[in-house]
Structure 1
């Protein structure tokens, strides 16, 4: 069976251009098209495409947010579509990742599709080259303002200021916010790198807290401390997290 393709772009004209060119290729099957990140996450889970044309710049939920919600390990082979971000192009070129810059020519599209077919033949999804390019992109992005998480068939966007604390759970994290617990397929270290260090601190190897949501810090024994959050959650602070402790105390003293 020929590879199935999903097109994700919030611009109707750009989406139409990709769809028209894909339909001219008898070796590919168009599975569907999405105009926003949330529907893209659902479509990837339901349609299981082999290849995704993914726009980076989308409102509310960007292409990078889509990958975070799906999970890098589960993401199909991907061609990134970008309109103007030169640093994105440099990141893709440096890591030999397939991309399209809008507007693109028929020749450029054909060359990109041919490379994508070769990757599919080699069964290459989000390999190390793509992950390196994503890391480069993330380093250029501002700190996270919202985090997309799955909630049944929907994708919920959690505002980072609503987060009370985050717990590591193997290769996932549990985000405590708004009286609920949301699971995200990302390591604690990877998520911590994307959060503003002025607002979030690691108090233990398996826990990060929102410093603005700390109610009190109390000494315990053997140099440990107990951090009480404003939702009543009590967390033990590692004695090796002295810098976090000092910063937490300073923030509370300034409020």
Structure 2
């Protein structure tokens, strides 16, 4: 039996935390390890309890939910689901790396959808891999396609490009638009398998077929499917180390 997903509830309203507890009652694989009424308490609780999942209100006295996330070290950041009564913060919440955004008062069906998304992400993080160097790195990405969720194995990804508040994920000949910050993907993807070649581009090193040197230290990378991508001079050193370039 797998260990429970350990959750911390952060909301300055007692009734809101009670509503979260009631909504979580339908999810037996989640264990509530603590509650906090403000962001200062939450900072201490995250450090002490190391929760896997954070249910986080946005508007709280003093430090708000976004500032709380900025105070946490990226490597210590749990999965985050924002819970708030204010829908206008949705875009910023996803930009901050949240898995989902649930409006209050909580609708159980919508909450369950958020939990399903969280669970898919969690299983991707926990999935065993053959290469020990990849342990702890993301193995799957869940992408919304219309009314459905497509689960993409990271091994199937050819390359990724930043696109405003989204990223374009190119995998198996298909382009998926996914609300995720490129910087967050860089934190969770295996750096031995995914190489940053430009400020807004990551490429799967297994898909690289050729590298063509250009002027001024830049280069062009050609993938197996013929896709051509720029390797900027800024990231040439990292490519040299990973690809063994001269």
Match of 1:249 among 236, 243, 246: 243
Aligned to 2:66: 127
- Assess, with a 3 A threshold, how the Cα gap between structure 1 residues 240 and 97 changes in structure 2: closer, same or farther: same
The within-5 A match list for 1:87-166 is: 95-96=43-44, 126-130=65-69, 132-133=71-72, 135-138=74-77, 142-166=136-160
Structure 1 stretches lacking a partner, 5+ long: 1-9, 15-24, 37-53, 57-80, 84-91, 102-115
Whether contact under 8 Å (1:224, 1:236) holds in the other structure is yes
Write the distance in 2 (CA, Å) between the matches of 1:139 and 1:250: 35
TM-score for both structures, normalised by structure 1: 0.51
Number of equivalent positions = 169
The within-5 A match list for 1:1-255 is: 35=27, 55=30, 81=32, 95-96=43-44, 126-130=65-69, 132-133=71-72, 135-138=74-77, 142-250=136-244
Q: What secondary structure sits across from 1:167 in the alignment?
A: strand
Write the distance in 2 (CA, Å) between the matches of 1:208 and 1:134: 23
Whether contact under 8 Å (2:218, 2:236) holds in the other structure is no
Displacement of 1:249 after TM fit?
2.8
Displacement of 1:212 after TM fit?
1.1
Deviations 1:108-167, CA, capped at 9 Å, x for gaps: xxxxxxxx99x7776x97432246458343489711111122111222221111111010
- Assess, with a 3 A threshold, how the Cα gap between structure 1 residues 96 and 160 changes in structure 2: closer, same or farther: same
Write the distance in 2 (CA, Å) between the matches of 1:234 and 1:26: 51
TM-score for both structures, normalised by structure 2: 0.53
Write the distance in 2 (CA, Å) between the matches of 1:241 and 1:27: 46
Structure with more contact order per residue of length (Cα contacts < 8 Å, sep ≥ 6):
1
Structure 2 stretches lacking a partner, 5+ long: 7-14, 35-39, 50-55, 80-124, 126-135
Deviations 1:11-58, CA, capped at 9 Å, x for gaps: 8xx9xxxxxxxxxx799768966659xxxxxxxxxxxxxxxxx948xx
Displacement of 1:221 after TM fit?
2.5
Write the distance in 1 (CA, Å) between the matches of 2:243 and 2:16: 63
Whether contact under 8 Å (1:97, 1:133) holds in the other structure is no
- Assess, with a 3 A threshold, how the Cα gap between structure 1 residues 139 and 174 changes in structure 2: closer, same or farther: same
The CA RMSD over aligned residues, in Å, is: 4.4
Whether contact under 8 Å (2:161, 2:201) holds in the other structure is yes
Q: What secondary structure sits across from 2:212 in the alignment?
A: strand
Write the distance in 1 (CA, Å) between the matches of 2:152 and 2:236: 29
